[in-house]
Chains A and B, each alone.
Chain A
Amino acid sequence: MFASDEEALAAAEELYGQYLAAENQLGAGGWNDISLIKPYVRGAALADEIQTAQDLSAKGYHQVGDISYDTATLQQAEIAESGQVVLTVYLCLDVSGAGIVDATNQTIDVGERPGRLALEIEFDDVDGDLKVDRSEPWTGSDFC
């Protein structure tokens, strides 16, 4: 599916960029339209997204500003005999430019939440359709 690690990482980054754009749109709309991110996420990561969106939507919150990412590196690319590809990527998620406001546009205090967080993202393809399957905090050395 990919001719090189660079090509695999580029595909993962392209998908993750689209995913975050949809995620920002989802949050800006009050986390009401989960269908926005479904083209980019599946499995455990999607279940997580749905529950989080339901929680925030029920409170009448919405997102202001955008979440972004940088410093993506490929941890590994696994290609099964069946041809299925699983990519694991480290990246820095940056939420410093985003926040949550309530229905009256009052900013929700973010306390000491970090603005940047190292994540380990797993992408897998099903029948050639690459999506985010797992997203977890990376608690090894902080590269962000």
Chain B
Amino acid sequence: MDRFRLLLISVLLIPGALAVATGGCAPGDVLSGVCTSGTISDGAAHIGGTSAWPGNGTGSSGHGTTGGISGPPVIWKCLEVTCAKDDAGAEPITLSDIASFRPSPGVQYMQPDGWMVPGLDANFYAVTAQHVVNGTLLGQPASVRFTPVAFHWNYGDGTAVTRSSKGATWQALGIPEFGPTPTSHVYVTEGTYTIRLTIDFAAEYRFAGSPFYPIDGVIPLPANDLHVSVDGAKTVLVEHDCAANPSGPGC
């Protein structure tokens, strides 16, 4: 089923007077006008908010960073606890705000660096990790936690694969050079190739000290391209033989 969402958090934000919103939407939250949700679009995770507090008749102003979100920014115009306990008869001002968060792109590397031998494994791996991007929403701390969950490699020779692992160096894996790894690839034809990697990031949001709540969907984010040449193997002299240096090149 399509789980498209229009974003939006409705939050309660009365500095010093009211509790701030937690994530989610329990029955008590609905009753007291405090619910949250988030969405992903255009390569970013978005959370938004609405608050109401005692007005002074001078209009409203927003806080935080704004993002490129379409759709209605307000679910509820007035949050009852606020209006009753803190309004003191004044008309509430409703503020809405949207904060957008983007993950940091990963970086891909390869072994050997920049060249390959036809028929032998070339090892590709990405450097990326779970990370938190902090911001503000309506003047309160908001964070999105990004987790790399899928790695789409296009090897430039007509082969494209999706891996769940970001890979690692031969050394880290304890695999001999040119040995197969979970993210290695074998080119069969000499030539020059461009390797493209796109990493899918899952996102979770947190607002004003709430637990992290998952946001539907993933953010696909390209990493750097690699340009490599695949040449035939040539015999070269290296220092020591394999008996003297078992970890040497080609051993």
Contacts and interface: CB of A to CB of B under 8 A. Distances in A.
Interface string B53-95: 0000000000000000000000111111111110100001000
> Could you tell me the dominant secondary structure of chain A's interface residues?
mixed
A80 interface: no
A100 B210 contact: no
Contact of B25 (A26, A55, A76, A135): A135
Nearest to A44: B211
A41 B245 CA distance: 61
Given A31-B28, A45-B24, A95-B27, A51 B2 contact: no
Given A55-B19, A137-B25, A48 B210 contact: yes
Given A108-B85, A139-B7, A23 B80 contact: no
Given A108-B85, A113-B76, A140-B2, A49 B8 contact: no
Contacts of B149: none
A20 B31 CA distance: 12
B22 A100 contact: no
Given A111-B52, A112-B76, A112-B78, A59 B85 contact: yes
Nearest to A106: B84
Given A47-B211, A52-B32, A113 B78 contact: yes
A76 B1 CA distance: 8
A102 B86 CA distance: 13
B143 to A, nearest CB: 15
Interface in B8-64: 8, 10, 18-19, 22-37, 39, 52
A65 B210 CA distance: 28
Interface string B212-225: 01000000000000
Interface of A: 19-20, 23, 26-27, 31, 41, 44-45, 47-49, 51-56, 58-59, 61, 63, 67, 75-76, 93, 95, 98-100, 102, 107-114, 117, 119, 134-140
Interface of B: 1-8, 10, 18-19, 22-37, 39, 52, 75-85, 87, 92, 210-211, 213
In order of increasing CB-CB distance, the 7 nearest A-B pairs are A111-B78, A55-B19, A110-B80, A48-B24, A109-B84, A108-B84, A51-B22
